Structure 1
Amino acid sequence: MTTAVLLICALCLDALLGEPKWLWDRVAHPAVLMGRLIGALDRRFNEGAQRRLKGIGCVVFLVGVGGAIGLLLSTLGPVAEIITAAILLAQRSLVQHVARVADGLRMSTAQGRRMVAQIVSRDTDAMHDTQIARSAIESAAENLSDGVIAPAFWFLIAGVPGLVIYKLINTADSMIGYRTPRHHAFGWAAARLDDLLNLIPARLTAALIALPAGCYDLRAIRRDAAQHRSPNAGWPEAAMSRALGVALAGPRAYDGQMRDFPFVNPDGRKVLTAVDIDASIAMLWKAWRMWLVLCVLALIF
């Protein structure tokens, strides 16, 4: 069974079942186990001198562990490979989390804040409705790349080992890849490798969002993406902003401090509602279907 066939099966299984609560309430999700491993490395090695060198060593260790686990899982046969890939993909769970923000916002601003706080790291206590909707849409776009297209891409390229390595590095970046006094040096390698691994998938995700929406001005998307502080996250955000005709990014607060980030697609509509979140969810599914079609074409040709 080819990798493309395995990926098609995994994409469909994830879209159908998502993250079964009854299962992950009883056993630790692999992403949780990855987080525990990275947390342990952070506590053990992120101290003293040569923190950047120690961080590089930890990333090499994670790549080795991920590759070894992936190879082991690959020996268990195609069913195990499909299940592993489906578990590490996140299309349905992403849609569900974003939809909860829309549902909460329809109930009240306070409920919208509570729901969006579950999917973003920025300050949410003082958000108004537009900021809540904008945050949810940005999260939808970024996590389509990080949680669906990128892991699927690396599975297609390198099978289960590629998928597991990607998820470990992406998790490491989300935990230690920040330019804070504690993690600036230790998390440098994780952040740079995550940037490299997402270089192609982020741009692919932008195309998967833009093209089904009839947005063919890729120069404008590239220009908007350059406004983002991340070399990769700006691409799916820029495509989503163009697809919906809205402005994304812009000023937001972290740890009580307002950051004056520029808008992506600054000429887009700046007043957003739960309806716009619904529209972003529709775009997630359009992009997912287009990616599935590409996988089928890869199988045929």
Structure 2
Amino acid sequence: MSITIARTRAELAAAVGDATVAFVPTMGALHDGHVQLLKHARPLGEVLVASIFVNPTQFAPGEDFEDYPRTFDADLERCAEAGVDVVFAPAVETMYPSGFDTTITVDPGPLGSILEGAARPTHFRGVLTVVAKLFGLVRPDVAVFGEKDYQQLTLIRQMSRELALDVEIVGCPTVREADGLAMSSRNIYLTADDRVRAAAVSAALRAGVAAGPEGADAVLDAAHAVLDAAGITPDYLVLTNPELGDPEPGQEARLLVAARVGKPRLLDNCALTIGATKLGS
């Protein structure tokens, strides 16, 4: 199939027209997980738009903005595989025409200051700002995001709802390698030895799920034990409710982990139901 590449606002508007739009924002370096996101989105609109834009404002000084993998030609092949109609690949000047210093930004609020927000204080302001800009340009009816970045997904849902952006936000289950490792563009930074150790991150989540009926403390203990055995000290390993608040015994919960394994910092999470024992009781 033929893909239209739009690099300007005018080209994007001409390519989309008046059709209903399903949208998947990406930073490129597409892998099988992205392909699944795109295929998930394909039937949700008349036109499927994918954006490829490495957003400078979500990288703090010293992070990997300059080194972030950029594989545009290969990304186009992935998009074709998934049935994408339009690839929006704007320049930085298109997304930030006034520059960075004068751009009006989206404040992520209290939810943006915990977990990833605590480790990367400017990250979610950059994410929400660029997503809001992309929504304004693409005008999607529905946008699809992966559940791997669960805090990001939760914040984007909140932003769309509270700012009345009128975009339906759909979460797509995390796509995994055969050993359970969540697919990520940053997995290419893993050495062979670290790649073996990295499987413990998802294994810890599975151990936590298995311990769910025994209560919240058992969930965290089981997950920590797997990480400890692999020599991995997490930045955080937490149990929350689906909205990232305090978990309730007997209810659906979310187990989230972030850990550095070699160079890359790996994120993962899973849903589970916890037993009736209160956390810390």
Normalization by structure 1: what TM-score?
0.27
Higher strand share: 2
Q: Which has the higher contact order (CA 8 A, sep 6+)?
A: 1
Higher helix share: 1
Normalization by structure 2: what TM-score?
0.28
